Chain A
């Protein structure tokens, strides 16, 4: 039983890591953008640009955030 639970937790972790990754805000914003596009399309508005635009903007925000959390180390040449 313990092995089944451990396996289920392992699979759930893999799926989360595969879909969401290490920055959940990117996934959340993109899913909301997809939902918003769906709503706009049903009202006859062609919003094909919304998802690519937010994908690029969120990539920049995520890169900036990870840079603040993990600053670069000095190169070996500086030793």
Chain B
């Protein structure tokens, strides 16, 4: 069983990547079109997400741990590799830059009743960004045998990023999301590799310690690729100038 601290940290960081985008959307909509309908839309999005987590948890929880680790490990490996590759490309291209705020129009806001534009924008922002969180949290939590802690880590990320976004104007847009995405991509790829192969019957030479080895190998490969990408981007810009 994977340690509680590792489960909390990984799901907190993974959820933070999507929570940044979620909070930026909700704050942008709320600031331009009013808070009542925005908050209602966000609450509806979270309610749908809670149902999805519960249904997925029950469905995947009924699979024995061996086959579950193959399926979930492969899922985390494939998904983690996408964030790993995107993180490398974005860190190489933009360094530690944050995210820009979305442009939201504030004309035709109704004086009373529900502003459906704000509701739908906020609902979609929470649901679309949250779906990936839900899948990561359920699959990671079940494979680690700690679904409850996994949900706590994700909820904590949404609360912390949300509270920071409300309290400190512009803070969320300055978080280096690309770097965070690369770190989480490395974590998910490492755990996905470890669990999927363990589920297939591979005996790791140093047992659980090999997760650290995978983290180091994938981390070093990412650093090397970032160096190569930066050199390629620099050369391409010189040729264009």
Contacts and interface: CB of A to CB of B under 8 A. Distances in A.
Interface of A: 14, 18-23, 26-27, 30-31, 34, 37-38, 41-42, 46-48, 51-52, 55-56, 58-60, 62-63, 66-67, 71-72, 74-75, 78
Nearest to A50: B197
A34 B200 contact: yes
Q: Which 9 A-B pairs have the closest CB atoms?
A: A21-B82, A38-B200, A56-B221, A41-B201, A72-B233, A48-B202, A72-B236, A74-B240, A59-B85
A41 B218 contact: no
A55 B202 contact: no
B204 interface: yes
B237 interface: yes
B218 A48 contact: no
A66 to B, nearest CB: 7
A63 B200 contact: no
A51 B93 CA distance: 27
A59 B218 CA distance: 10
Interface string B85-106: 1001100010000000000000
Contact of B85 (A18, A42, A63, A72): A63
B88 A63 contact: yes
Interface of B: 70, 74-75, 77-79, 81-82, 84-85, 88-89, 93, 131-132, 135, 189, 193, 196-197, 200-205, 210, 214, 217-218, 221, 225, 229, 232-233, 236-237, 240-241
A31 to B, nearest CB: 7
Given A46-B203, A72-B236, A63 B81 contact: no
Contacts of A30: 74, 77-78, 81
A46 B200 CA distance: 11
B237 A34 contact: no
10 contacts: A23-B85, A31-B78, A46-B202, A51-B196, A51-B197, A52-B193, A59-B225, A63-B225, A67-B229, A71-B236
Contact of B93 (A14, A34, A46, A72): A72
Given A31-B74, A63-B88, A55 B81 contact: yes
